[in-house]
Amino acid sequence: MKDRLRNPAPKLALFSAHDTTILPVLATLGQAVWDGEDWAPYASMIIVEVHSIQTANDLFPSGKAFRLVYNGLVLTDKVDGCTSGEALCDITALIQRVGQFAVMERDCVSEKRVEFDFDEMKSFMSVKGSITVMILAVAASSIVGSLLTYYYLTRSCPCTYDGRGRFDQAASTLQSDNSENMQRMSDRAEIL
């Protein structure tokens, strides 16, 4: 892995991602970092700081340390292999956790492709009554969808069909509009 790193390393590397990328990154760092249940809020941010330690000691034998900050919370001590209560941890703990996931080549072998299996479809269709069940399911879903659409449109549209190919405003709307128009006309007549 050291051979693939650029030398000198960049001072700042910024990556933009979605919540579906942030959560797997947190999951690789251990269950104490992300429990697998709370979803990343909008505009979430992970910061991984790498620090050079001037004098190597028992806490930082490699001479490099990291700090993990997620949405403003320091989570370094929750990473597996790090000391509890410490804001910095030796970089080897981070490399051991993410090293198996941080690969340069795409892993195409483990991708599962879902392909349509015609043999399964043939065996399903050969079962007695399966065609009838499929036709009934399509018909039922069409009828239910049509009824729901009709109900929605008749309740939300203030229009009526006049039978001659035209849609007019609903009768209640027309009556209120006519009474308002009559009032306006009488007001104008009085002014004149």
pLDDT tens string, the chain, 192 residues long: the values are 455 555 677 788 888 888 888 888 888 888 888 888 888 888 899 999 998 888 767 788 888 899 999 999 999 999 988 888 889 999 888 888 888 777 767 666 655 666 666 777 677 667 777 778 888 899 999 999 999 888 887 776 656 656 665 656 555 444 455 566 666 666 665 665
In this structure, the answer to whether residues 35 and 86 fall within a common structural domain is yes
Over residues 33-59, the pLDDT tens digits come to 888 888 888 889 999 999 888 876 778
Q: How many helices (H) and strands (E) does the chain have?
A: 5, 6
In this structure, the answer to whether residues 85 and 130 fall within a common structural domain is no
In this structure, the answer to whether residues 152 and 93 fall within a common structural domain is no
In this structure, the answer to whether residues 85 and 153 fall within a common structural domain is no
Over residues 92-104, the pLDDT tens digits come to 888 888 887 777 6
CA separation for the pair 169, 79 (Å, rounded): 66
In this structure, the answer to whether residues 138 and 67 fall within a common structural domain is no
Number of domains present in the structure of the chain = 2
DSSP tag of 76: G
CA separation for the pair 13, 93 (Å, rounded): 20
Q: Range of 30's domain?
A: 19-98
Please indicate, yes or no, if residue 152 is contained in any of the structural domains: yes
DSSP tag of 79: S
Please indicate, yes or no, if residue 12 is contained in any of the structural domains: no
| Residue 94: both structure tokens together | 């981070």
Please indicate, yes or no, if residue 79 is contained in any of the structural domains: yes
CA separation for the pair 121, 86 (Å, rounded): 58
Please indicate, yes or no, if residue 42 is contained in any of the structural domains: yes
CA separation for the pair 170, 158 (Å, rounded): 5
Q: At what angle do helices 130-156 and 118-126 cross, to 10 degrees?
A: 100
In this structure, the answer to whether residues 93 and 126 fall within a common structural domain is no
